[in-house]
RNA sequence: UCCUCCUUAGCUCAGUUGGUUAGAGCACAUGACUGUUAAUCAUGGGGUCCUAGGUUCAAGCCCUAGAGGGGGAGCCA
């Protein structure tokens, strides 16, 4: 009897073992720390008082007197520093001397309630190990405010500052929120190619991709470069957009998005352009222009709200930072809302939606235009809007994000769906205060004849694009999508004025140092 | 690419009408201080005034050219 029970039990174990062991593995992974240190962030969310722990991090400042040293330590897990108390009777003085600003330390000690006013707990050190010294004479970062321009020149070190720590934690949260939003909505993440052969998007200058010897390239009979001998046996470049491939994917998977690097070789020197940036491009079968607008607005509100809920400390810091910057601006250039107020406002209010035609009317009749305060006066329907006009609409007239729709077809790309009026296309641009265009999108032209006709008008080679046109030949359906510049989103949420300060290692004309 | 402003100590910046030895705060070094919060106080070291040329008895300051950076514009996300 006992034997049979035992036998059954072992039989069960044998069968179930792979499953159980998998469960154990999962449990193990969940609780596994890869080293024994405690992250500073945990010290603010869990009670460690009385416990002996190990911290690792970088010295921000050290304050000393005869009897005691205080080290403000930061490990990047949070913007908050943690106070280390070092008694010179306990810790070797020579060792403490090496704990200069920027040095990396491993500290063993006990968490206690703080005697001082600025923090509720602190770590009384029993052992300090200097993992990496930082020669105070040479280390460029000091416990003071540095200019963003200076920090840009030492981009390899700037993550160690409060500002850039905050920016990159927020950037991460936004990137994560992008994936979460689309995943929760049943969208599929598509990796569109980085190297492409099509130069037909019309989205600007491209970077060439080649393995040919640039000093001595193979030539054809007429003297031009023979790309047949190149790696791909054709001319290739870095992608300027994943949209066209995204459309192909949406025609089978329904709703997809891309989130990848994008390259533009434009000689753009502005606070909102990069040569290498990250773009999010959802593409949806069965969506019309209005569905597209609804998705874009909902998406933007979601990711901004996600940052508000998950990056409170960092955003509060950036809010104060932005407020200080504001004081140095001229009165007429200051924004009415602070950073946090602005983010909450965007999350809680509907975007203003209007057509290009309505926008032109507003601009034409504005006092600003009548008093000739625009550099480019708005006189007739059909002109492209200048950034001063977009800013006027967003910052002065509506004072909220604006979705502009139905632009003249002449100023928009070939793939946008032509409206019945014969003059406009189902485009949409979303304009944000301080940033300008953050989203550009449209319902796509799904009608083969209309699309090929427009391509021919705009001198886009239809033969090369046979694969794109095939989606209109076989099982075509109304569909729509948009592109969102990720760095511009990060700019808006962090309040950083220059796009070069929201990407780790910016690529701009003349700059690829790090 | 165009317009415009800027470049003085490791960092942030002042420097008068062209006139003697170029300044401050922070940082750094030394010292003081019984728990600090970008600690404080005292003392000290630290300069190719972006580069090249020019004007002048004399240039950080004026002129020309170049380099680097900021802001704005275009292109766009």
* 3-state SS record for A424-436: EEEEEEEEECCCE
Q: What nucleotide is nearest A116 when CA is compared to C1'? A: B35
The CA–C1' separation of A500 and B27, in angstroms, is 27
pLDDT at position A324 is 84
Q: Report the complex ipTM.
A: 0.89
Residue with CA nearest C1' of nucleotide B10: A140
The CA–C1' separation of A154 and B22, in angstroms, is 29
The CA–C1' separation of A191 and B26, in angstroms, is 49
CA atoms within 13 A on the CB side of A495: 24
The CA–C1' separation of A92 and B39, in angstroms, is 22
pLDDT at position A144 is 82
Q: What nucleotide is nearest A144 when CA is compared to C1'? A: B38
CB A126 within 8 A of CB A110: yes
Distance between CA A306 and CA A299 in Å, rounded?
11
Residue with CA nearest C1' of nucleotide B74: A268
Q: What nucleotide is nearest A440 when CA is compared to C1'? A: B77
Distance between CA A342 and CA A67 in Å, rounded?
47
Q: Rounded to whole angstroms, what are the CA distances from A449 to A16, A419, A454?
A: 60, 14, 9
Q: What nucleotide is nearest A138 when CA is compared to C1'? A: B10
pLDDT at position A200 is 57
CA atoms within 13 A on the CB side of A478: 13
Q: What nucleotide is nearest A376 when CA is compared to C1'? A: B73
pLDDT at position A16 is 56
Distance between CA A469 and CA A316 in Å, rounded?
49
pLDDT by residue for chain A (514 residues), tens only, comes to: 555 555 555 555 555 555 555 555 554 555 556 778 999 999 999 999 999 999 999 999 999 888 899 999 999 999 999 999 999 888 888 888 889 999 999 999 999 999 988 899 999 999 999 999 898 888 889 888 889 999 999 999 999 999 999 999 999 999 999 999 999 999 999 999 999 987 655 667 899 999 999 999 999 999 999 999 999 999 999 999 999 999 999 999 999 999 999 999 999 999 999 999 999 999 999 999 999 999 999 999 999 999 999 999 999 999 999 988 887 766 666 778 899 999 999 999 999 999 999 999 999 999 888 888 888 888 889 999 999 999 999 999 999 999 999 999 999 999 999 999 999 999 999 999 888 899 999 999 999 999 999 999 988 889 889 999 999 999 999 999 999 999 999 999 999 999 999 999 999 998 998 8
pLDDT at position A136 is 84
Length of chain A: 514
- Strand B bases with any atom < 7 A from protein Cβ: 1-2, 10-13, 25-29, 32-39, 68-77
The CA–C1' separation of A134 and B11, in angstroms, is 17
Give how far the C-alpha of residue A329 lies from the chain's centroid of Cα atoms, to the nearest Å.
26
pLDDT at position A14 is 55
What predicted TM-score, i.e. pTM, was given to this entire model? 0.91
The CA–C1' separation of A267 and B75, in angstroms, is 8
Q: What nucleotide is nearest A487 when CA is compared to C1'? A: B77
pLDDT at position A35 is 75
Residue with CA nearest C1' of nucleotide B72: A270
SS3 (DSSP) at A495: coil
């Amino acid at each position: 009897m006992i034997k049979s029970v035992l036998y059954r039990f072992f039989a069960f174990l044998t069968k179930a073992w792979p499953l159980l062991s998998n469960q154990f593995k999962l449990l193990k992974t969940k609780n596994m720390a890869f080293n024994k240190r405690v992250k500073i962030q945990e010290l603010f969310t869990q009670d460690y008082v009385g416990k002996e722990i190990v911290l690792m991090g970088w010295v921000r400042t050290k304050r000393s007197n005869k009897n005691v040293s205080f080290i403000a330590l930061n490990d990047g897990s949070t913007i908050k520093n943690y106070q280390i108390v070092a008694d010179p009777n306990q810790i070797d003085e020579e060792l403490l001397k090496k704990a200069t600003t920027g040095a990396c330390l491993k500290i063993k000690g006990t968490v206690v309630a703080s005697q001082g006013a600025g923090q509720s707990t602190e770590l009384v050190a029993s052992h300090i190990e200097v993992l990496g010294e930082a020669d105070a004479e040479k280390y460029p970062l000091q416990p003071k405010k540095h200019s963003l321009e200076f920090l840009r020149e030492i981009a390899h070190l700037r993550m160690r500052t409060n500002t850039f720590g905050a920016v990159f934690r927020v950037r991460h949260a936004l990137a994560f929120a992008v994936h979460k939003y689309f995943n929760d909505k049943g969208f599929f993440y598509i990796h569109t190619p980085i190297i492409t052969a099509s130069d037909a998007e019309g989205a600007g200058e491209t970077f060439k991709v080649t393995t040919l010897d640039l000093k001595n390239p193979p030539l054809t009979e007429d003297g031009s470069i023979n790309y047949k001998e190149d790696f791909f046996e054709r001319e290739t470049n870095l992608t300027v957009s994943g949209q066209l491939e995204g459309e192909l994917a949406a025609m089978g998977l329904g709703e997809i998005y891309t989130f990848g690097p994008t390259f533009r070789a434009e000689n753009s020197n502005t606070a909102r352009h990069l040569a290498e940036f990250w773009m999010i491009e959802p593409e949806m079968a069965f969506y019309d222009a209005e569905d597209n607008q609804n998705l874009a607005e909902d998406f933007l509100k979601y990711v901004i709200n996600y940052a508000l809920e998950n990056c409170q400390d960092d955003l509060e810091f950036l809010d104060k930072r932005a407020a200080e910057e504001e004081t140095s601006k001229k009165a007429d250039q200051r924004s009415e809302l602070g950073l946090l107020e602005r983010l909450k406002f965007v999350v809680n209010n509907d975007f203003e939606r209007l057509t290009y035609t309505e926008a032109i009317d507003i601009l034409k009749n504005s006092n600003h235009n009548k008093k000739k305060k625009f550099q480019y006066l708005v006189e007739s329907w059909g002109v492209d809007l200048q950034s001063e006009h977009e800013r006027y609409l967003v910052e002065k007239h509506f004072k909220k994000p604006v979705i502009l729709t139905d632009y003249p077809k002449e100023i928009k790309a070939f793939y946008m769906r032509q409206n019945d009026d014969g003059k406009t296309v189902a485009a949409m641009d979303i304009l944000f205060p301080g940033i300008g265009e953050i989203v550009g999108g449209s319902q796509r032209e799904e009608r083969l004849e209309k699309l090929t006709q427009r391509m021919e008008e705009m001198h886009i080679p239809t033969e090369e694009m046979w694969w794109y046109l095939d989606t209109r030949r076989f099982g075509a359906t109304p569909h729509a999508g948009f592109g969102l510049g990720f760095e511009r989103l990060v700019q808006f949420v962090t309040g950083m004025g220059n796009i070069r300060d929201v990407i780790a290692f910016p690529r701009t004309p003349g700059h690829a140092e790090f």
